[in-house]
Structure 1
Amino acid sequence: MSKNPKFYFSLRSPYSWMAYRDLLERYPDVAEAVEWIPFFEPDALSERMLTERGEEFPYSAMSRAKHFYILQDVGRLTKARGLPLTWPVDREPVWEVPHLGYLVALRGGKGPEYIAAVYRARWELGLNICDPAVIADVATSLGLDPVEVSTASDDPLLREEGVEILLRICKDGVFGVPFFVHRFSRYWGMDRLDEFAAHLRSKLAPAGALPATASSVSTGRSSEESHAGGCG
């Protein structure tokens, strides 16, 4: 059992996006302390590779009623936060494109900036983040190699790394995002962020493991299950 506190985030999920913003704005010390791990639904290739490792991704299809609920719920939550929102349209998405691209950005020292830029592209601009051209533009804006970042899903080694992440998702019992883990304690949904932050501070602060403040999020360590605040 890993002692490192973990934040499973998805660039796809509106709830993960809002949890990300709340985490940075309200709990920068917690954001600095957790390990950031991308959560993404596997495409056919990744799913086959995962099956060959003896695991099955914890995913259940979202009903039409739940989809319409999320549209309404996210609208309420973003309005309350004063966040701009433009709903993207996903057509045959390949979530490895943005999430494996993140691994390249992380190695290039631009992990936090990449997350911020991709979230903005998806949720504020309504862009298709599974389009390699969109990810290439993000990479260029961050001074990263646009080809390397936007074609990360074509790299066999990064595919293997992605499958290792999927295995971690399965091992930790992550069935949706945002999802927070610290040893045996698990918290699902943006509405559990306050509890997770209090838990983590109580466990780590006495040992001096949590800084009092943090100016930026650390991501150096490296589905649709939905309720009000928990989304895949």
Structure 2
Amino acid sequence: MKRERLRWYFSFRSPYSYFAFLDLVEKYPRVADALEWIPYWEPDEWTTRLLAESGATFTYTPMSRDKHFYILQDVRRIGRQRGLTLTWPVDARPCWEVAHLAYLAAEEQGLGRLFAAQVYQARWRDGRDIHDPATIRDIGVRIGADVGALVDAVHDVTLRRRGAEALARGSRDGVFGVPLFVQGREKYWGVERLAAFVDACDAGTAGGADAAPDGAAVPTGTAPYVLAGDGGHAGGCG
């Protein structure tokens, strides 16, 4: 039975995804290389139609006022603990496809991780609007990308379909918030569970045993990571 790679769902919307990104690339680079990086966000009408055409759905529960204020406090607290000065973004006219589809375009150029780092920096440290194509253009120039491909990604039909498939995979994986780390049947939600996910990977036990078609257990094998060539929200902030 074919086993899927270790994977994580992330969003540029989520401050907890930003913290998880920092931990992955700084503390656990080997795991970051092993993971499949899958963007996840609240879709606009076009992406929602593509999801419906594929039979997938996106579940979004608006955040309560009390939860919003709690997250503001919590993110400031975590930022202080990490020595980070954060800016809380104001999303007046959000279109999450602008940044997330541009990530897919950057990934095609082998620059997905560099792009993600710059988007997180722009949004959570510099207070820039990541829904503005000018911000995406500046990031593209900074990382040496094909700038036109990044800026035009939101209008690219092929990338739209790739984005819809990413969200559909999230639906199949039962994603309800980000960051979410997945291997086999096991899920680890939130930046505070990243260390446990890494420990399970190191032990070769993340996901336990996969089920074979006849119901028999298939051993996970001795290699804790499934490596591949290139590594490169809504609905709750993890």
Normalised by the length of structure 2, the TM-score is 0.87
Specify the code of the residue in structure 2 equivalent to 1:150.
V
Write out per-residue CA displacement over residues 183-205 of structure 1, whole angstroms, 9 at most, x where no aligned residue: 11001111111111111111179
Q: Structure 1 regions of 5+ residues with no counterpart?
A: 212-217
Asked if residue 56 in structure 1 is aligned to residue 57 in structure 2, the reply is: yes
Asked if residue 193 in structure 1 is aligned to residue 203 in structure 2, the reply is: no
CA distance, structure 2, for counterparts of residue 27 and residue 91 of structure 1: 35
Specify the code of the residue in structure 2 equivalent to 1:147.
G
1:59 offset after TM fit, Å? 1.4
User: What is aligned with 1:155?
Assistant: 156
User: What is aligned with 2:222?
Assistant: 207
Specify the code of the residue in structure 1 equivalent to 2:139.
V
Specify the code of the residue in structure 1 equivalent to 2:143.
L
CA distance, structure 2, for counterparts of residue 188 and residue 99 of structure 1: 20
Contact 1:62 1:224 in 2 (8 A): no
Partner of 2:159: helix, strand, or coil? helix
CA distance, structure 2, for counterparts of residue 151 and residue 83 of structure 1: 32
Specify the code of the residue in structure 2 equivalent to 1:18.
F
* Structure 1 residues 45 and 225, CA gap change in structure 2 (3 angstroms): closer
CA distance, structure 2, for counterparts of residue 97 and residue 167 of structure 1: 18
1:208 offset after TM fit, Å? 4.2
User: What is aligned with 1:8?
Assistant: 9
User: What is aligned with 1:220?
Assistant: 230
CA distance, structure 2, for counterparts of residue 94 and residue 190 of structure 1: 25
Q: Structure 2 regions of 5+ residues with no counterpart?
A: 207-220
User: What is aligned with 2:143?
Assistant: 142
* Structure 1 residues 219 and 102, CA gap change in structure 2 (3 angstroms): farther
Partner of 1:23: helix, strand, or coil? helix
Contact 2:204 2:223 in 1 (8 A): no
How many residues align? The count is: 222
Specify the code of the residue in structure 2 equivalent to 1:113.
L
CA distance, structure 2, for counterparts of residue 56 and residue 164 of structure 1: 11
Alignment of structure 1 residues 50-199 onto 2, 5 Å: 50-199=51-200
1:167 offset after TM fit, Å? 0.8
Contact 1:58 1:174 in 2 (8 A): no
Contact 2:101 2:154 in 1 (8 A): yes
CA distance, structure 2, for counterparts of residue 154 and residue 78 of structure 1: 35
1:220 offset after TM fit, Å? 2.3
1:222 offset after TM fit, Å? 5.9
Normalised by the length of structure 1, the TM-score is 0.89
Contact 2:177 2:189 in 1 (8 A): yes
1:207 offset after TM fit, Å? 3.0
CA distance, structure 1, for counterparts of residue 54 and residue 181 of structure 2: 24
CA distance, structure 1, for counterparts of residue 87 and residue 232 of structure 2: 30
Contact 1:11 1:119 in 2 (8 A): yes
Write out per-residue CA displacement over residues 7-54 of structure 1, whole angstroms, 9 at most, x where no aligned residue: 111111100000111122222221111111111110111112111222
* Structure 1 residues 141 and 183, CA gap change in structure 2 (3 angstroms): same
